Structure 1
Amino acid sequence: MPDAAIGSTALLASDDSRRIIDLIDSLSSHGVNHYLDLPQIIVCGDQSSGKSSVLEAISRVPFEAQDGLCTPFATELVLRRQEEAEFKVFVTRHGVAEEATLEGESTDLAIEKAIEAAKERLILSDGKAFSRDILRIEVSGPNQPHLTLVDLPGLFQSSTITQSAEDAQTVEELVISYMKKPRIIILAVVSAANEFALQQVTQRAREIDPNGFITKPDKLDRYSNTEKFYVNLSNTKEVPLSLGWHVLRNRGFGETTVASDVRDQLEPKFFAKSPWNKLTDSQLGVESLKSRLSRVLHNHVLKHIPNVLEEIQSSLKECKIALEHLGRERRSQKEQRA
């Protein structure tokens, strides 16, 4: 096949993927997911598991990634490929997206300011530490994938000055409520710096067969038993998953100011060394991950969209019948009073 034909086919596939994913996002932004389950990818993990770093590596959006701090609400990250770089930030309440707090060209500083402004609107006046409202971030650019992810607050057990045992239960209930939805794909983020069996996300998600992420592989001692365990885990020898495991090497604690381009250069150099070079390229790094997730979401939406549209039609029909019945009752009441 000529190169031009291949390029045209890829473009058509890309446009088709965007239209399909945009349809689900449109339904979600109009509150449809408040009444029925939509096909989505959710990202969940324990606090300090590297969840924010994973999202930043995928999107280039500067997420807050301070250890020990938990984002107090779900974040819907909408990424789309187009020539011009743009971003919008919304606050979604009761399933309906409100006006963007800020919007404009996609620069790190501008996005950070917009996110912080939106977060202020999500702070609860009743003193609760966590909200069921959603922060929605839309970022477009020439290097973005066609992908939508829902990032959930990190699971934790121990209470602190800012997070109580009641808060821990609230977060757990929120995360599990998403996990149990029938049209959800779970991306479980596991930190190699922590004991696998003690991480809450592994306990909660294993029965639901998630797609697994392993972060912080560079924190492991070379050739240690723990490193061997996580390499075997990556090969699904320890905990088999139908969607498999993927390993990322993100910024470390002392690399928070490292640019995304530098981060992307350091990652393949790390994976070129033993024992990680025993894994396939499709299991390693952010570039293969973006393509993989876009493909998984596209196929997932295609699988479920017929049933979603059927449920919407059924709900509209029920609403129409209910409204007609209500109209007849009101007319009857007026006739009786007359």
Structure 2
Amino acid sequence: MEALIPVINKLQDVFNTVGTDSIQLPQIVVIGTQSSGKSSVLESLVGRDFLPRGTGIVTRRPLVLQLVHVNSEEKKRPSEDEEHAHVEEWGKFLHTKNKIYTDFDEIRQEIENETDRVTGTNKGIIDDAIHLKIYSPKVLNLTLVDLPGITKVPVGDQPPDIEVQIREMCLKYIANPNSIILAVTSANTDMATSEALKFAKEVDPDGRRTLAVITKLDLMDAGTDAHDVLMGRVIPVKLGIIGVVNRSQMDINKRKPIEEAIKDEAAFMQRKYPSLASRNGTSHLARTLNRLLMHHIRDCLPDLKTRINVMASQFQQLLNSFGEPVDDKGTTLLQIITKFAAQYCNTIEGTARNIETTELCGGARICYIFHETFGRTLDSIEPLGGLSQLDILTAIRNATGPRPALFVPEVSFELLVKKQIRRLEEPSLRCVELVHEEMQRIINHCGTQELLRFPRLHDRTVEVVTNLLRKRLPVTNSMVENIVQIELAYVNTKHPDFADASLVSALVNSKEELRKQQRNRSVGPGDHGFHSVQAAENKPAKQEVAVGKSMLENLWVSPATPISRKLSPREQRDCEVIERLIKSYFLIVRKNIQDSVPKAIMHFLVNFVKDNLQSELVSQLYKTDFFSDLLQESDQIGTRRKEAAEMLKALQKAGHIISEIRETHVW
């Protein structure tokens, strides 16, 4: 069991080198109000004067104090300091490395100097601990943390929120489940209002790891004593309540030795509390703390081992993710380029290892653009959209010249249908733009850890891919424009899906005749008129009209924008014929473009980039003169790798220290 506290001290030393709070080691945290006697308790445990004294907040930084017991016959190694080779008590600070302090007044002065160096002289506090080791044959192995005294009101040039700062600092340390809370309260105050016990209860409501220390027993009012308090009848604390008698301010000023003060304390206890003398006093407190800390370490050790092993595994993975220092730059560069190109292509193909689950990306997004965005946009373009009856009638009249036409002129149809087909060009070019943007965005999904490790290589890779996409954009746009121009170049009225003009004309004439008959027929009550019209419509005069009706039944369209005057029957019929022909042919062209544009984009943009990406990256980047510049690691990655390596080394060393503890030492 005695070996456990030195082990924790070794672990503390290991983790101090990397400055981590990730591992919460077992330790004793001392809290109390200002002037409650915290410093005197700590000095009594050490047996030497070494802490700063004064008014107000004297302790302005946490002090992590490791007491290391050495046998009285032990000597420091001469190699450390020949001048003080026979000194039995000495101290060492973490921030002064291997410097040895044999004068405890110098230790006090160094604590003050180091405090002022970090916190300044305005009585403010800071959570940056000072680490001090004291070696002595008079101490028991202990690890204690001394915190600033709890205060309520800022004094002098103290910060206005000093109370909140101290509270947060205290709670941070005592909230550590592996800590023992040493709550110091003076006997001449009301225990029920003890700030130290109040803080302790917030994080340890059951009191399982709280030990109360009652100071200044000799300063209680005449006629009163602390018998009930020391017996736990006022405030029950599971780890116990221990009373001590500190040196008075006069004793401190006169430099009364602590050994004499402890003897006087024992005499006072025998005189004032004879039945409780063996259970109180500084010596009993030291032994109790040593015993509690050892048992606490024993209980915490299994979880501590697990925590260290888990963190070592995590930091090993983190270190691996940063990669090893580059030896063969050419091979490394080629591997990164190849991996990036493969990941880019896999993202398009949908075979990437890490598939996005929050949004569409890569090939899936391109598919959505083709069949949802582009497809819906084309479907929303009406065949006669933006075309009025006046436009149609004007086109018909312009195509006939000075002579009235016997039939609907074909030129007017071509003129109008081409005007409608041109409306398909803009959404087609927009489709190219959307696919280009998505292929640019894919670059961000392919930022491998190796590539991010080298910021200049990452920037150059993005630049090369962006330039390749930019070069393919005009070619693809030109092809899409040509697809539309091809449709405009030749209006194929013999297309198998196009309605025959003569059939359309006959069908329109048939409808016109039916409307005339309807106007001349008187319609009786009920639905007879409707049924008679239906019968007439279903009995055309010509067999060709019956065939044409079945072909053209999907060509009925809403009337175009009407003109201000009423059209003649002939004009109405001609407009209707042109409208139906435009719709028939427009639907054919729209279907062709909806099929051809995605194919053109895939061939001229997507597949071309996929097939030529790696060769383009190699030709632009794989040059000997660029190796050093491209593979220059970012400062952030280098710093993080160094920190991760140091932390991993500390964890491995900590694991080795714990593994040396045999079960016999623990139990």
TM-score range, shorter chain: 0.7 to 0.9
Cα distance in 1 for partners of 2:92, 2:275 equals 41
**Counterpart pick for 1:260 among 258, 264, 273:** 258
- On the 8 A contact 1:17/1:146 being kept in 2, the answer is no
1:273 to 2:268 alignment: no
The residue aligned with 2:243 is 247
* Structure 1: stretches of 5+ with no match in the other structure: 1-12, 91-96
Question: What is the CA-CA distance between 1:68 and the residue it aligns to?
Answer: 3.4
* Cα 1:249/1:231, change in 2 over 3 Å: same
Question: What is the CA-CA distance between 1:326 and the residue it aligns to?
Answer: 4.2
The residue aligned with 1:141 is 136
The residue aligned with 2:65 is 77
- On the 8 A contact 1:20/1:302 being kept in 2, the answer is no
State the AA in 1 paired with 2:274.
N
User: 3-state DSSP class of the match of 2:126?
Assistant: coil
- On the 8 A contact 1:157/1:165 being kept in 2, the answer is no
* Cα 1:263/1:218, change in 2 over 3 Å: same
Q: What's the TM-score once normalised by structure 1's chain length?
A: 0.83
Cα RMSD (Å) of the superposition? 2.5
Greater strand share, structure number? 1
Q: What's the TM-score once normalised by structure 2's chain length?
A: 0.44
Question: What is the CA-CA distance between 1:141 and the residue it aligns to?
Answer: 1.6
Question: What is the CA-CA distance between 1:280 and the residue it aligns to?
Answer: 4.8
* Cα 1:321/1:36, change in 2 over 3 Å: same
**Counterpart pick for 1:98 among 95, 99, 115:** 95
The residue aligned with 2:558 is none
User: 3-state DSSP class of the match of 1:189?
Assistant: strand
* Cα 1:60/1:117, change in 2 over 3 Å: farther
User: Which residues in structure 2 correspond to 1:167-246 (within 5 Å)?
Assistant: 167-207=162-202, 208=204, 209=207, 210-224=210-224, 227=225, 230-246=226-242
Deviation digits for residues 36-73 of structure 1, max 9, x if unmatched? 32211100001110000000100124222435333111
Asked which structure has the greater RCO (Cα within 8 Å, sep 6+), the reply is 1
* Structure 2: stretches of 5+ with no match in the other structure: 76-87, 324-335, 337-447, 462-613, 619-667
* Cα 1:117/1:161, change in 2 over 3 Å: closer
Question: What is the CA-CA distance between 1:102 and the residue it aligns to?
Answer: 4.5
* Cα 1:317/1:21, change in 2 over 3 Å: closer
1:55 to 2:42 alignment: yes
More displaced, 265-274 or 182-191?
265-274
Question: What is the CA-CA distance between 1:30 and the residue it aligns to?
Answer: 2.9
Cα distance in 2 for partners of 1:190, 1:326 equals 51
- On the 8 A contact 1:80/1:147 being kept in 2, the answer is yes
* Cα 1:264/1:317, change in 2 over 3 Å: same
Greater helix share, structure number? 2
Question: What is the CA-CA distance between 1:101 and the residue it aligns to?
Answer: 8.5
**Count of residue pairs brought into register by the alignment:** 311
The residue aligned with 1:285 is 281
Cα distance in 1 for partners of 2:319, 2:92 equals 35
Cα distance in 2 for partners of 1:231, 1:68 equals 31
Question: What is the CA-CA distance between 1:219 and the residue it aligns to?
Answer: 0.6
1:156 to 2:144 alignment: no
* Cα 1:194/1:241, change in 2 over 3 Å: same
Sequence identity, in percent? 25
User: 3-state DSSP class of the match of 1:172?
Assistant: helix
User: 3-state DSSP class of the match of 2:271?
Assistant: coil
- On the 8 A contact 2:52/2:58 being kept in 1, the answer is no
